[in-house]
Structures are given as structure tokens and as C-alpha cells.
Amino acid sequence: MRKILIIEDDELLGKVLFDALSASGFSTTKTIDALQGQQAVFSLKPDLVILDLMLPAGNGVELLRNLRISAQTQSLAVIVMTSYCDEEVRQEIEEVGVQGYFQKPFGHEELIKKIGNILGS
Amino acid sequence: MVDLKKYEATFLKQTKNIAKNLERFLKILSCNLDNEIAWQEGKRLSHTLKGSAALMKCENLSQLAKELEEFFSDRNFKKQRQVEHIISEILRRSDSFKGLQKINSILDF
């Protein structure tokens, strides 16, 4: 079973995504801040991370950079989600390296389809 | 399609917590406008409320949360009274999903 880690401080959205992804057959874990998220990446070794950009205890962009610096997580599939439509941030994220970028609000069906394409499942 | 009804209780609880924290940050800022954490956390929580309200189709509440986010982002403390009013209104209505859905539309700043 493929493992997905959600790093999202919005409890409601985290729960909605968790339920949708679990119902779609993924082994899903959620965390609520950048520090817990980073720790969970290294302990759980997920196949894909869904990452919010605005997080407590750090921020999503920094976390993404840290993942790309580490040999262990350099190629880890990451989908970013954010409410901001800042083109500069989007370019920065894409330069650091992401496999998907979702503007909130979005339909969870789109997200699941994207995950399927990325993981080839 | 997500059945949003099953998330109403989570949404209400989260909204109430956010509003209480925003109230607390406003009190902190009224004593010390340089408190960086209050400004940043206020902005983050307003941003979260904006997103979760939109997810639950509470468009008016989402718009009010956007005003709060702008307040904490712009740091214009002259708008303190209006922001206090928004937050207390959210708290007053946060025991009922219908209450939050029907919250007054945008206040003019």
C-alpha cells in the first residue's frame, strides 16, 4: 500500500484529505506543522508528501528546500497546496522541485488523479 | 463528492479555537504592537480560517477571514475595533453551522 504524508495545519482540510485518500486505498498520515512534518518524512518514508506552504513551526518552502538537500528525500514526490496565487512563490517552488501545485480550494478528485499519475497507480 | 456535513463539528470547533486565539493576539498587540509572533500567527490563523470557511461553502465567513488576514498582514492597528467586532461576531455564532453560514457579509473598513 502506498504511503502518503499530509503536512497541513488546517485541521479540517487535513481531515478531509485524510479521509479521501484513505478511502482511495492509500496508507495516510497527517501532521500539523513543519517540524513534525519533517520528522515524519524521515521516520515514515512516505511515497508522496502533500505539503501546505503556510505552516507553524517553520514554513513549507523551507521544508521543501530541506527535503531537496537531503540525499534521502531528494527525489521524494511532493505536491504543494496553497491559497496564495503569488507567481513568485510558484516559480520558487518549481525551481526547488515539486511534482504538483494545487491552488486552494480544489477538488479532492483532482488531487487523487494527480497522485495516481505521479505514483503510477 | 465530499459530504461536508460530516465535517461540520470539526469546522465549528476549529473556527471557535481560531477566533479565541485571534482575540488573544489582538489583546497582546493592544499592549505591544511589536509582538512579531502575534502578527504572524494572527495572519496564519486568519489564512487557515479563510480556507476552511471556503471549503465549507461559508463564503461570507471566508471573506471576513480574508479581511482579518489583511489586517494582520498590513499591521494597520487603526482597524482594531472593526477586527474586534468581526472576531466577536464569529465567536458568538460559532456554536452553530447555520450561524456561521449566515454571518453578516463584509463589514466596511
What is the CB-side half-sphere exposure of residue B39 using CA atoms within 13 A? 13
Amino acid at A52: D
Q: Is residue B107 scored above 80 in pLDDT?
A: no
DSSP state of A31: E
Residue B98 makes CB contacts below 8 A (sequence gap 6+) with none
Nearest CA in chain A to B48: A10
What part of A 63-102 touches B (C-beta under 8 Å)?
83
So what's the pLDDT on residue A100?
92
Task: Give the number of beta-carbon pairs within 8 Å between A and B.
Answer: 39
B10·A20 Cβ contact <8 A: no
In 10 A of CB A95, how many CB atoms?
9
Q: Is residue B109 scored above 60 in pLDDT?
A: no
So what's the pLDDT on residue B29?
95
Facing residue for B50 by CB, picked from A15, A20, A83:
A83
Q: What span, in angstroms and rounded, lies between the C-alpha atoms of A26 and A68?
A: 24
The number of angstroms, rounded, from the C-alpha of A108 to the middle of its chain's C-alpha atoms is 13
Confidence of residue A70 (pLDDT cuts 50, 70, 90): very high
* Chain A environment of B2 (Cβ under 8 Å): 16, 20, 108
* Chain B environment of A56 (Cβ under 8 Å): 41, 44
Per-residue model confidence as pLDDT tens digits over A77-100: 999 998 876 788 888 899 999 999
Per-residue model confidence as pLDDT tens digits over B61-73: 999 999 999 999 9
Q: What span, in angstroms and rounded, lies between the C-alpha atoms of B107 and B109?
A: 6
What does pLDDT average to over chain B?
90
Q: Is residue A73 scored above 90 in pLDDT?
A: yes
Q: Is residue A36 scored above 90 in pLDDT?
A: yes
Task: Compute the average pLDDT of residues B88-106.
Answer: 85
Q: What span, in angstroms and rounded, lies between the C-alpha atoms of A58 and A55?
A: 6
Helix, strand or coil for residue B108?
coil
B2·A105 Cβ contact <8 A: no
